[in-house]
Copies of this chain bind each other. A is one copy, B any other.
């Protein structure tokens, strides 16, 4: 087989590797479903804890189940002292995603059932990972801003606790609500690169800590998790709303990639982007100073890009384009955007791993060899 001419599926685009009942991304219609519920339905009615339960368990919880799940999240919220010490010692020395990856990687040292790979244990570890990854992300942001570890308050909700551990003060309900929606829209997106990376790792029967650590590694890349920060940076470079159109036109003329536009799957408007854009429309009207400017820049840039590339080239805004200014409006520093993405997507990663292990198959595709064979070893004296 290797000696006929194989078809090379660059980027594995269009290749299916498994079945899944977790998430449907309908890139033509611009629809997104988690376990059958549209993203609009969930953002309008649910919260991140409930959505995490839904993703992991394939059903909405009843009252008792939801209460138990929230309690488990709250119980797991604290961080082992060694992990806190590691963050304090290293988080100024490396990228927050590197700190997050390393801190999650060391969690099995503090889990007595780390190597129990039964489904029940993996479900418990999933809750632990969802809870602790948020605490780690918050603590990294906290320490990088000069603060100390904030002991979690078990009476708070998941996203409320994240903000409390990040800022050291109880957040207002409106901030919690908006950030909760950001967590929901980032919780899952079928087999994108990081989720695929999680499954590649898990497919060797490596455990869920190894698999999700791999996911954080994958998510770091600017073509994936880092796109929102890059899009925001562009908006800051534009600076003045009246500079928007010229900046974008120059960038397009110079063949620059505009981060936050275009998507491997969506060939129309990303439904998550529409939800998040709503907050910017509000800021454009009611925000002040930097926030008003930033939202105007984002909305004017979006309009121009759609006029130029939307219908004609199928390049539409995706969630990464609008996420940055919304985080800024919530007082969240840029470098924590991707860790928040990771802490949100932890739910999807764990859900996919639990599902894939029910019918596991080692992922091992092929490369076409283009080199030589049977070269003779040359003595070092005879080499050029």
Give the interface of A toward B (CB within 8 A): 1-2, 6-24, 26-28, 31, 33, 35-38, 41-42, 44-46, 60-63, 66, 82, 86, 89-90, 93-95, 97-98, 101-102, 105-106, 108-110, 114-115, 190-194, 196-197, 200-207, 209-211, 213-214, 217-225, 264-265, 361-378, 380-381, 383-384
Q: A16-B365, A20-B370, A193-B362 are in contact. List 10 more A-B contacts (CB 8 A).
A: A2-B27, A13-B364, A24-B369, A33-B371, A42-B377, A45-B377, A62-B380, A63-B383, A206-B224, A214-B217
Q: What residues on B are CB-neighbors of A380 within 8 Å?
A: 60-63, 66
Give the residues in chain B near A35, CB-CB below 8 Å. Answer: 371-372, 375
Nearest first, the 7 A-B pairs at minimum CB distance are A204-B221, A21-B371, A206-B221, A36-B372, A12-B365, A93-B109, A204-B224
A41 with B193: CB separation less than 8 A: no
Chain B residues within an 8 Å CB radius of A17: 8-12, 365-367
CB neighbours (8 Å) of A36 from chain B are 371-375
Q: Tell me, in angstroms, the Cα distance from A221 to B17 when the chains sit together.
A: 19
| Bound complex: CA A196 to CA B362 (Å) | 11
Assess whether B192 is in contact with A364, with CB atoms less than 8 Å apart: yes
Q: Choose from B200, B222, B224 the contact partner of A218 (Cβ within 8 Å).
A: B200
Q: Quick check: A362 and B105 within 8 Å, CB to CB?
A: no
Whether the pair B109, A18 counts as a contact (CB closer than 8 A) is no
Q: Which of A12, A95, A203 is packed against the most chain B CB atoms within 10 Å?
A: A12
Q: Are A213 and B8 in contact (CB under 8 A)?
A: no
Q: Which residue of B lies closest to A218 (CB)?
A: B201
> Complex formed: what's the CA distance from A7 to B14 in Å?
10
- Tell me which residues across on chain B come within 8 A of A218, comparing CB atoms: 200-201, 204, 206, 210, 214
B191 touches A217 (CB 8 A): no
Residues of chain B within 8 A of A105, CB atoms compared? 98, 101-102, 105, 213, 217
Nearest B residue to A110, CB-CB: B93
CA distance A63 to B41 in the complex (A): 67
A190 B362 Cβ-Cβ under 8 A? no
Q: Is A204 a contact partner of B222 (Cβ separation < 8 A)? A: yes
CA distance in complex: A375, B82 (Å): 44
A106 touches B82 (CB 8 A): no
Cα of A14 to Cα of B364 in the assembled complex, Å:
8
Can you give 26 contacting A-B residue pairs, CB < 8 Å?
A: A6-B16, A8-B19, A12-B363, A12-B365, A16-B366, A16-B368, A20-B368, A20-B370, A24-B373, A33-B371, A33-B373, A35-B371, A36-B372, A63-B383, A86-B106, A94-B106, A98-B108, A98-B209, A102-B105, A190-B367, A191-B367, A196-B363, A200-B200, A201-B218, A204-B224, A213-B213
**B98 near A90 (CB under 8 angstroms)?**
no
Expressed in whole angstroms, the minimum distance between the Cβ of A224 and any Cβ of chain B is: 4
> Of all chain B residues, which has the CB nearest A112?
B93
- Residue pair A210, B204 in contact (C-beta under 8 Å): no
Chain B residues near A371 (CB, 8 Å)?
Answer: 20-22, 24, 33, 35-36
Cross-chain contact A11 with B364 (CB below 8 angstroms): yes
Cross-chain contact of A196 among B7, B193, B200, B224 (Cβ < 8 A):
B200
- Compute how far the CA of A203 lies from the CA of B16 in the bound complex, rounded to whole angstroms: 18
Q: Which residues of B contact A8 (CB under 8 A)?
A: 16-19
Find chain B residues with CB under 8 A from A219 CB: 204, 206
The chain B residue with its CB closest to the CB of A89 is B82
